[in-house]
Structure formats: structure tokens, C-alpha cells
Structure 1
Amino acid sequence: MKDISRIGALLVSSMALCAPLSAQDSGEEDAAVIVVTGEGLSETPAAPAYATQEITREEIVSSVSGRIEDVLSGVAGFQQFRRSDSRSANPSAQGATLRALGGNATSRALVLLDGVPMADPFFGFIPFSAIAPETLGEVRVTRGGGAGPFGAGALAGTIELSSAGLDDLGGFGAQALVDDRGGTEASAHVAAGLGGGFGALSARWDRDPGFYTTPEADRVPATARAAYESYSVQVRGVVPVGETMELQARGLVYDDRRTLRFDGADSSSTGQDASLRLVGHGEWAFEALAYVQARNFTNVVISSTRFVPVLDQRNTPSTGLGGKLELRPPVGEDQVLRIGADYRRSEGELYETAISAFSGNVTERRNAGGVSSDLGLFIEHDWTLGALTLTGGARIDRYAISQGFYEARNAGGILVRRDDFADRSGWEESFRGGLLYRLGDTARLRAAAYTGLRLPTLNELYRPFVVFPVTTNANAELKNERLIGYEVGVDLEPAKGVELSATVFENRVEDAIANVTLDPVTRQRRNIEQIRARGAEVSAGLTFGQLRFDGSLAYTDAKAFQPGADFDGNRPSQTPRWTGSATLGWRPADGWLLAATLRHVGDQFEDDLESDVLPAATTLGVFAEIPFSDRFALVLRAENLTDETIVTRNQGGSIDLGTPRTVWAGVRLGL
């Protein structure tokens, strides 16, 4: 991991050193400066044919919690496996999905940062704490299966995070806040032009003694607050190459440590990422991307009866690498053709130690892991015929799952079990198509249909886990998930400052991977016949002078089907029927912002048998930015202002709670 970190740092340093030279033309003093953006290729004309929602930088940096997952919660249909955010959830539970297609902790939505997939190579979770919202310029969410680049991970949709450019960042920015528990949040960045490009360095550090996730009546002397401490450092360099190309380099290092429920129940998530992206904006537009990721995860499980360690998941190193190449040849003024290939490879192992709750002695040491890879070839064509835009795309994936194993040794090091799983590979095809019809400048009608693919993660295949007292076993025989879906929608702009959108959809995940209950204390990951989700999503954006309203609402009737099973026809675990968000913002003067956000999540069930309910929760948050000068402002935030009780876990009455009322105050500085 240290080697990868050094490589990333060297790549970025090289870009910075080369930047002034890249803007010169054979040493001529009067060479024109080429201004670059740091972005990828532009969206195609048919992109709005699919249900999309964009989040602006102002919305991103005015979140009431300062967390990117909170920002995404304003999108109808977005959810994580649990309601907790990245301060009080186990990192491995931070899967991201859309349209109630969850049911386990793995991400069914593809999350990209500057074009790079962010999912952990072993687990599939998203390291939200590593993504500092203040470094982002825009977020674009596309719901429904994707057949374009990295489409094999976009089963439920795609969440594209784009880093902010020099204009948004300015030369220097910083903020520091403290909450009513004594926690702190601090971030800073510096950015500067380098020839025709720019470079940016940003850092963020969060720490908090935390709150009690255990209800007061259930606390014991060993009960601990959900304390956390995390940092992330990112460096970016963007330089022009010739007259129509730009080279982008990014490096990210992060570390996140948390304590949950009991003293000693500590987890950590660390990573070092590096990527290079070459973008050509000429007649033959293209984008070439390469990335490498080194990640690790640790976790200690504490007995909820004896309050001593019973499992030490001491090391889970994983490596992800991949890239993509996309070409857009000139095919006519009203057409866009995309041809390309992408590749992802994930490799990882777990090392864990089982410990007797009675003697404290080691009882078993386990090691498991494997490799998965996916090579995809894709093509997509958009054609605009007056008011009508048509789009169609296809991809074929060559996947492979190999080197899978599981072994266990006793305390003396003697092998007691060894399983070597057969390698497997195959081809899978995916398609998508859509149309967009413009009714003047006030309305757009759209329709789309698609299929999708997701490979099981190494975690699902090989790693059992424990949320005491329930053990969920892995399953090396898991098949790929397949999505079939369609949707129709309308986007309206009947007047200036009025934006309305509505979509109805049906999505079906065949061979869906679910945590299936076998007995009261045992579950196993298994393919079930299908998860079907039918529903509607609506959103509105209204601007009236100094007031701005943004709202979204999603209703999803999701059911899991497995003939003969006890859960047949039940709602998948952790999936609500209703989710909604509404934000009212007021800008009374330049630099001022006052905003209130109301969020609602309907009731959910903890497991597939619908035996334990998580009641509906409605929260209110407020944000205020009050400038004292052009460069200095007071920032006030309040989360869960009404102190709503948010149940995030309920296993037979063993309950965890979400964020209580939390008040922040601090300053923001910009130069």
C-alpha cells in the first residue's frame, strides 16, 4: 500500500512540475495559454432520456451534517444498507443503492469519483468518509441500469461525483466547526493555476466522542459512545497536452476509525488511490483512464453478553485496478457514437481470529479470499431528429472469479479446514435504449428500457460476518445478479424558476443476492429468484426571488420472491416504501444562506422475515451561513433538530439508534 501511495504522489508531482511547460509552444513567448477544466467528456444529448438528477455545489457544501451521504439522501430513492451515516455505521455496511434494490450491504449503484469506481474492491461498500463534499463541484445521479462504461457495476444506477475546478475552489479555502459534544470538523484546500492547468491540495480531519447508539435502558458499563476519527488528503493536477487534450492526475489517502456499541468494538477503513485520465476534446474525442487502489479493513466483534472480544477481523487487504478507453468518432452533427472498453480487477483476503468469550484464548485463525475481474466492451449511439432524440447501447462483459479459498487453523496452527473453490468465467450481455421528445422549451417526454449486471463481491463469496448474536455466512457459489427494467417520465419547466420531474418504473433483479435467514442466529448469502421494485419518483425545484425550494419523493413497492421460502412476497430487508426530502433555502443578501431540510424515511424491516421493524423517522435540519466580509463567514448547522428517535438496527429487540440532535458552529474562510 505504501508503494502505491508513493506512485500516486510521484504521478501528481510530475504533473505539477510539467504544467508550466505544457502551456508553451516550442519555447515561443507568445504561445496561447490553453485553459483546461479537469472534467471528463461531456454528457451526450440523450443522457436525459434516463431518470437523472443533478446536485449543485451550493447544495453540496450546505449540507446540515457536512457528509456526502447526507447530500445524496436528497435524491429520491437513494439509500444505504442502514440509516446510519459514516460516523456511526460499520464501514462494511455502507453500500449505496437506488430504487429499493438493496437487501444486503453491497452497493448496487455505481459510484464514480472523477470517473473512477469508488467501491471497496473486497466489500463493495463506499468509503463516504474519504469523500470531502467541499472538494466537489457537482453530483449527477442516474437511476436505472447502465450499459456504458463500468456498466457491470451500475445495476441500480450511477452516482457521478465530479471534483471542483479552480473557479469553484478559489486560491484558498478552509472551515472549522465544533459540535455540542465537543466534536470537530476541519478542512482546508489550496489551489493555483499551473500554466494553462491547475493544481489543488485538500485535507479534512473529523473527530467526535460520539453519541450512545444504545438506548439508555439497555446500556451497561461496557457500553461505548459511537466515537470516530478520520482524515483524508487529496491532491489533483490538471495540465494541457497540446491544443485539445488535458491530462488529469489524482491521489487520495484516507483513514477512518470508529467505535460502535461497546468498548473495544473498533473498526478501521484505510485506502490509498491514484488515477490518471487523459481527455481529448478534438474532432475525435476520447477519454483514457487508469487507476489503482489499495484498501484495508479491520473490525473487532464484542460479545453482547460477556462484553469481551470474540472475533478479531484483524486484516482485510485488497487491491483494485482498472481503467477505460472511450472513443467518440465524428459521425455527423446530430449524432454521437461512443465506443469503448473498461476493465476492473479486485483481489483481497481476510485474516481473522476467533476468541473464546470465556477463556479469552484463541480458538481458530481463518484466512479466505480470491480474485474477480471484468472486461467490458461497449457501444452506444445517440441520434437527434429534430425534437426527438433516440439512444441505444450494448455491452458484453467477460467476467472471471478465481483463486477462491477458505482455510481455518486451530490455536496450535494445525489445519482443520481447507476449501478451494473452482474457478469460473463467462460472458454476459447488457442493453439499454431510450428516447427523449422535446415539446418546445417547456416539457420533455422520456422512456427507457435496460438490462444490467453485477458480480458478487469477494465479501459475499468468501467472508462470513457477525452482528452479535447473528452470524451471516458467505457463499462461494453465488451467481451474478441480472437486472431488467423500464421507465417512463416527464420533465417540465412551465415557467422561469420552475422545474418538475416525474418517473414511474419497474425494475427486477433476477438471482438477487440476499441475506437469507436459516435459523434465529444464522443467515447465509443466497441467490433468490428475484427482487421486483415498482414505483414512482417525483422532484421539484422552485425559485421565487430569494427563496429556493428543492424536494423529492419516492414510493417503491419492492418484494422478494422465492417460491416455497418463508420470505416469499415480503419486502426486502432495509428497504422503505416511502422516502422524501424537502429543502427551503433563503438568500436575503450576497453571501447569506439560510436553509431548512425535512427528511422522511418510511418503516423498514431488519430481516427478510419481517420479524423486526425499524419505525419511520422524520428529521429536520437547518443550515446558516452569515458573512462578516467577502472572505469570512459564520456557519451554523443543526442535525435532527427535533431529536427524533431513529432506529437503525433491531435484532430481536437489540436496538441501535441514529444521530440525535447535534448542533454545530464554526467559521468558513475563502480567498
Structure 2
Amino acid sequence: MPLPALAQQQPDTPDIVVLGDPLPLPPGVPAYGAVTIERERLTGDASGRVENVLSDVAGFQQFRRSDSRSSNPSAQGVTLRALGGNASSRALMILDGVPLADPFFGYIPFNALAPDRLSSIRVTRGGGSGAFGAGAVAGTIELASATRRDLPLASGEAFYGSNNAVQAAASVSPDVGGGFVSVSGRFERGDGFYTTPASQFTAATVRARYRDWSVGMRAVVPVDAQTEIQARGLLYRDNRTLRFAGANSSTEAEDASIRLIHRGDWAIDALAYVQARNFTNRVISATSFKLTLDQRNTPATGVGGKIELRPPVGPDHVLRLGVDARFGDGTLYEDAYAASGAVTTRRTAGGNTSTAGLFVEDDWTIGRLVLTAGVRGDKWTITDGFFKEATAAGAVTTNTRFADRDGFEATGRAGALFHASDAIALRVAGYTGFRLPTLNELYRPFVVFPITTQANAALGLERLRGVEGGFDLTPLPGVKLGVTGFYNRLEGAIANVTIATNIRQRRNVDAIVAKGVEVTLHATHGQFSLDGSYAFSDSRVSASGTSAQLDGFIPAQSPRHTGSATFAWENRQGFGASATVRYVGKQYEDDLQTDVLPAATTLDSVIKVPVGRHVTVIGRAENLFDETVITRNAAGSIDLGTPRTLWIGVRLK
């Protein structure tokens, strides 16, 4: 994970253009302290999963500690800097400029993200929204698709692991004309492990089995020497069972995007995309072990686009001007069941949201000093919200239409990067941002035994203000150290607030205030490398009125300490080994700090042995010492994370 403040500067010589790349990074990006994960690390993790590689960046977290094999998809929101508290994404995650969050729920479909389809990930903790659109209140996670330089003509891998698990992927990437096309597929399944402790087994307890597949296509077509069109498509299906027999969930997606990149004097980045998603979820009673709620259908659609221009304003400036927009809609269809198995109530709920913005940002290089500043103006809407309830016979008992809402938000960010010498760079930044509540937060209640969490159609926006400062140090060749101190205040933070025994409601609290320190280390020496990351986050809730009981508490699901370190060795013949240790500190399950999730330390390892020019045998071990990782604790009702999991496989290239 090299630190981009030094490593990602644009060279004085002309860039080598690689087919499939975005526009080059402006020189002021390192002022916001971004961290880059390279392709070698993405494809070298013991789990083979993007979300676990992202845990290399201390401060990254999903709502729960489980990965996408053993968590409910709706809990896969991502955040940074201990600004957690609910399952929606507070970090903006994008792939080739396209937001990945589900239009209804705000979760990230991690099972659809294959590491071999990516070239790198850049994580910016904090930083406001800049030119990326609304939603980046905790930071921005930018995924870039694999380019021509990353993709061999053909590649594939197949692994077999514990609990009868299979993981396989393949791609074919031929040159076509002056461009290339890459077609890839990924499949995985497993009988899973028991997420329930043995002491809490019931007659209905089952393993967390999973099965998913995805097919992706990316085409890059040059129009002329400076212009290319990048098209991407994805088809994805996922099925999981959690805790009880019949407690099944599924997701599906059909995504498509097209992007035009022009690298001339007037550089252009134009993007359009469409997303069709669906989610189903069946809730099983923890006492009768019968179906109590069938969220049988949640279709959602996301449509959006962006146009960015970089006019020629001189060699010392990179000016970005643009517009972007995102429109989302979704509807929940669910049926409630009596113990007899008969439907008692049928419910539908949903609505529409949109954001449309203008932005301008300029990076000004003055010798060793780079100044960067940008402003945005966004028009937002929440419309057509409704909740309808009827009997099994169709008689309507509730039919509520919620008032349409709209508004305008002005946000901005500014930073400075000073190269004091070839060995040290100093940086400082300040920013604001905002996030709309998701349709899920506004209109969909949910149950995770024994807790019911109510929706709240009156939720307001979350608004962030933050400052940070730090330095990037290169004391020796191959050694880079970065340190950042930050203060972030998320006003109107949406939290799951306890309002009665086993009942919570989504509410805006006054604020979540997070302050802390982040440290990142990258060192190489010959065939050896070390990457480390640590974050201390002192995060507190500021609350009054009906939520006053939360004032001064740590937000739910927000650890104070997180850290990771990866030590790796690889020689020129392709033999290699790595070990990754990750630590997550104690955190609380609930808003009232009554249920504790203890600290956990896990160790993963990977060994690679080439057996020919194109074939490598790989052994992988997750949670090698079988650490008990508690992912949920609701008044003693426990869920567990991934136990020791061993894999053996082969990679062809």
C-alpha cells in the first residue's frame, strides 16, 4: 500500500497512456492522504475477497465483522474513521467512476467484485465529496478496472477449501482492433460454517452456506490517438443462508456503463450508467423456527452520469469542471406470516431519491507547494415515498403517502501539499460533505432476532465537517511512512436508537464526532516487503432530546483501535509467501453500550509454488489460529465470523 503523496505525483515526462486507464490524477490528490492498494495485493489475499483486502486500510469497516460469505447483504455498508452506527455506506465506493452502492439499501455487492478484474484501489479517508458526487461523508474508495497491461490473453484459477468450498475464476482478454475486450467469470460456493455457537444450537440451526456467480465484460475501443471508449457490463447472482434453516437471502444485479476518455488539451471524462438490482430475505422465528416475514422482492434501479472537463489553463494548473447526477428508486414487497403458516399482512413501501450537482476544482503547483480547492452545489430530492399495508385478502389497512422533499447543499474541500524535501511532504486539508438517507432507512423496517428496527420517513440529511493534517516521510529508499491526524463531525448522523425493549428506530442524532490518528507504513528490501496500517479513532455521539441517553457514548459498531500488517517474500522465479495479521478492538453491538463485541486478532497466510512457466500452486489459510470472532451480540444471542479456513488451488496465467 504505497503512500501516494510521493509515489503518485505526475512525472515531468509525458505519461505513457495505457488502454483502459482513467484520466491522470491531479497533483493535489495526495493532500487528502489517500492510500493505494495495488493489483498484486488484491489478487494475493488468503480469502480472495475484496472486502478483506480493504481491511488492510485501518479504519475501513463494514457494519459487521463478517465478510460477504456469512453476512446478510443489507449489512454490507462501508464506512471509515469509526463513523459507523448503522448498515448504510457512509463512504462513497466507485468502480471506474460508477457508484457501487445499492440504490435502495446503500450496501456494496462485494461478491460481485472479483479481484482479478481490478488494477488498484485508492482509499481516501475523509476528504469530502470533491468531484465524486454526494455521499462521501466518511471518504471515497475508488476501484479501477484492470487495464491492458494487467491482463494476459487468458488466465484462470480454481481453489478447494474447508467446508466443501469451491472458488473459481477465469478470463479471456484478446486484442480487438486497436483496443481489447476482456470477458471474465467467477463462481463460488460453500457449505459454510456454523455462525451460531454450539451452546446456542437449536433444531433449526444450519451452516451459513453460500453460492454466487458473476459474469463481467469490459471493452476498450480507441477512437483516435487521444480518445477511447470504455464499456463495462456485469451480471451477478448471490444466495445465502444464515443461522436457521430457511433463513435465505438473495441478491441479483445487471449493471452497465459507458465512458469516454479524451486526453487532449481539453481533457474529457464522460460517463453514463444504469443499475438494476433486487434483494430477497426470509426471516425465521427464533422460537417457533417458522417463517415469520418474507421480504420477497425489492427491485431497485439506479441511473446516473458525469461529465468532467479539464480545460488548458497553463502548466501550473489542473482545472476540473463538471456536472453529475444520480437517480434511484426502489420498492419493498413483504408478507408477514402467523405461526400457522398463513399470511397475515402484505406490505409495500418505497420511493425515489436523486442528487444532481455542479463542481469546480483547481490544483495549483507553485514550486514545491501544491494548493487544491473545490466547491460543489447539489440539488437533492426525496419523492413519492409511501407505505401501504393490507390484509391477506387485500383489504387496505394503511396507505400513507409521505410529503416530497428537496433542497440544495453547498459543499467544498481545500488542501495543501508541501514537498519540504525529497524525503518529506507535509499536507493539510479541510472539507464538508453530505449524504441522503437511503430508501431502506426511510421506509424499510427489519428484524434481527430479538431486535426490531423501525424505519423513519422523516429522516434528515447527514452533513460532515472535517479537518486533517499529516506528513509522508521517505527516510530511506524503499521505506515510506505516513501519519495523519483528523477531526470529523458528522451532524445529523443516522443511528439505530433504542426506543423500547427490543425495539429501535432510525433517527438523526445531533452528531457523531470522530478524532484520531492514522499511520501507514510501506517498506521493501530486496525480495521482502512490509505493509502496515493502524488507526486510533476516538468516536463519540453527541445527542439531546429524545436521544439524550446516547450523549457521550461510542457509536455502535465503532472500534477505537484497528490495525493490520502484511509481511511478504517473493523471488524472481515466482516462489512466494505472505502473512497478514489483523486486529480489531472492542466495540459495541448496540447504541446503549450494553452488548460487547470483544477484540479479535486473526492471522492469514499464503504460499505460492510455481510448477511451470504458466502454472502456480497456491495454499491459503484464513484465521490460521482459529480465533473466535464475534460478529453480533444481541443480549447474548451470538453470531460468529470466519473460523480457520484452508484452501489449495492452482492459478494459470
TM-score between both structures, scaled by the size of structure 1: 0.94
Question: How many Å apart are 1:644 and its aligned residue?
Answer: 0.3
Query: Does 2:231 align with 1:235?
Result: no
Give the match for residue 377 of structure 2: 396
Letter in 1 for 2:615: F
1:113 aligns with 2:95: yes
CA distance in 2 between partners of 1:419 and 1:630 (Å): 66
Residue 65 of structure 2 corresponds to residue 83 of structure 1 = yes
Query: Are the counterparts in 2 of residues 336 and 383 from structure 1 also a CA contact under 8 Å?
Result: yes
Give the equivalent residue in structure 2 for 1:539: 520
Partner in structure 2 of residue 331 of structure 1: 313
Q: Among the aligned pairs, what percent are the same residue?
A: 57
Partner of 2:416: 435
Map of 1:659 onto structure 2: 642
The match for 1:348 is 330
Q: Give the letter for the 2:279 counterpart.
A: F
SS of the residue 1:226 aligns to: coil
The Cα RMSD (Å) is 1.0
**Cα distance in structure 1, aligned partners of 2:595 and 2:584:** 16
CA offset digits 1:295-330 (Å, max 9, x no partner): 000000000111111000000000000000000000
Matches within 5 A, 1:488-503: 488-503=469-484
Shift of 1:40: 1.4
Matched to 2:296, the amino acid is R
Deviation at 1:412, TM superposition (A): 1.1
Contact kept, 8 Å, 2:130 with 2:412, in 1: the verdict is no
647-656 vs 37-46, which moves further:
37-46
Asked if structure 1 preserves the Cα contact closer than 8 Å seen for 2:466 and 2:489, the reply is: yes
Match in the other structure for 1:4: none
AA of the residue aligned to 2:585: G
Contact residue 36 and residue 240 of structure 1 kept, 8 A: no
In structure 2, distance between residues paired with 1:333 and 1:177: 50
Secondary structure of 1:153's match?
Answer: coil
* Per-residue deviation, residues 195-253 of structure 1 (Å, max 9, x unmatched): 22110000000000000000001101210100000001100000011221100000001
Cα distance in structure 2, aligned partners of 1:550 and 1:608: 34
The CA deviation string for residues 426-462 of structure 1, in whole angstroms up to 9 with x for no partner, is 1000010000000221110000000001000000011
Q: Identify which of 538, 543, 564 aligns with 1:557.
A: 538
1:147 to 104, 116, 129: 129
Q: Tell me which residue corresponds to 1:199.
A: 181
Task: Give me the whole-angstrom Cα distance separating, in 1, the residues matched to 2:651 and 2:198.
Answer: 36
The structure 1 residue matched to 2:462, chosen from 476, 481, 502, is 481
Q: Paired residue for 1:586, among 533, 551, 569?
A: 569
Alignment correspondent of 1:15: none
Q: What residue identity is the alignment partner of 1:393?
A: G
Describe the superposition over 1:88-113 as per-residue Cα deviations: whole angstroms up to 9, x where unpaired. Answer: 00000000111011110000001111
Unaligned residue ranges in structure 1 (runs of 5+): 1-33
SS of corresponding position for 2:476: coil
Equivalent residue for 1:130, pick from 112, 117, 126? 112
- 1:596·1:621 contact (CA, 8 Å) conserved in 2? yes
Shift of 1:166: 2.1
Instruction: Tell me the residue number matched to 2:12.
Output: none
Deviation at 1:182, TM superposition (A): 1.1
Give 1:596's aligned residue. Answer: 579
| More displaced 10-residue stretch of structure 1: 131-140 or 583-592 | 583-592
2:255 aligns to what? 273
In 2, are the aligned partners of 1:143 and 1:156 still within 8 Å (CA)? yes
| Residue 51 (str. 1) matches residue 28 (str. 2) | no
Q: What do residues 29-69 of structure 1 show as CA deviations (whole Å, max 9, x unaligned)? A: xxxxx975212111100000002100011110001100000
Is residue 152–residue 454 contact of structure 1 (8 Å, CA) maintained in 2? yes
Contact 2:379–2:407 (CA<8 Å) still a contact in 1? yes
Other-structure match for 1:643: 626
Unaligned runs of 5+ in 2: 1-15
1:150 offset after TM fit, Å?
A: 3.2
Q: Output the CA distance in 1 between the equivalents of 2:373 and 2:127.
A: 13
Q: Give the match's secondary structure for 1:169.
A: coil
TM-score by length of 2: 0.97
1:423 aligns with 2:404: yes
Question: 1:526 — aligned with what?
Answer: 507
Q: Give, in whole Å, the separation in 1 of the partners of 2:576 and 2:101.
A: 33
Taking the aligned partners of 1:109 and 1:180, their CA distance within structure 2 comes to 33
> Which AA in structure 2 matches 1:635?
I
Equivalent residues of 2:350, 2:385 under 8 A apart: yes
The separation in 1 between residues aligned to 2:486 and 2:155, in whole angstroms, is 42
Shift of 1:167: 2.0
1:385 maps to 2:366: yes
Equivalent residue in structure 1 for 2:160, among 178, 202, 211: 178
Are the counterparts in 2 of residues 36 and 238 from structure 1 also a CA contact under 8 Å? no
Q: Give secondary structure in 1 for the equivalent of 2:89.
A: coil
